[in-house]
Amino acid sequence: DAGITQSPRHKVTETGTPVTLRCHQTENHRYMYWYRQDPGHGLRLIHYSYGVKDTDKGEVSDGYSVSRSKTEDFLLTLESATSSQTSVYFCAISESVFTGTGGFYGYTFGSGTRLTVV
Partner 1 sequence: DAKTTQPTSMDCAEGRAANLPCNHSTISGNEYVYWYRQIHSQGPQYIIHGLKNNETNEMASLIITEDRKSSTLILPHATLRDTAVYYCIVRGSSNTGKLIFGQGTTLQVKP
Query: Contact residues for partner 1 (CB under 8 A)?
Result: 1, 30-31, 33, 35, 42-45, 48, 50, 56, 58-59, 88, 90, 92, 94, 96, 101-112
Give CA angle at 79 (74, 81), nearest 5°: 110
Q: In the bound complex, what is the minimum distance in angstroms from residue 101's beta carbon to partner 1?
A: 5
- For residues 10 and 19, the answer to whether their CB atoms sit within 8 Å is no
Q: In the bound complex, what is the minimum distance in angstroms from residue 31's beta carbon to partner 1?
A: 4
DSSP assignment, residue 9?
Answer: S
Cβ-based nearer residue to partner 1, 86 or 108? 108
* Beta bridge pairs of residue 99: 102
Q: In the bound complex, what is the minimum distance in angstroms from residue 17's beta carbon to partner 1?
A: 25
Q: In the bound complex, what is the minimum distance in angstroms from residue 114's beta carbon to partner 1?
A: 9
Cβ-based nearer residue to partner 1, 13 or 109? 109
Cβ-based nearer residue to partner 1, 16 or 52? 52
Whole-angstrom Cα distance, residue 19 to residue 108? Answer: 24
- Tallying the residues shown for the chain, one arrives at 118
Whole-angstrom Cα distance, residue 8 to residue 51? Answer: 23
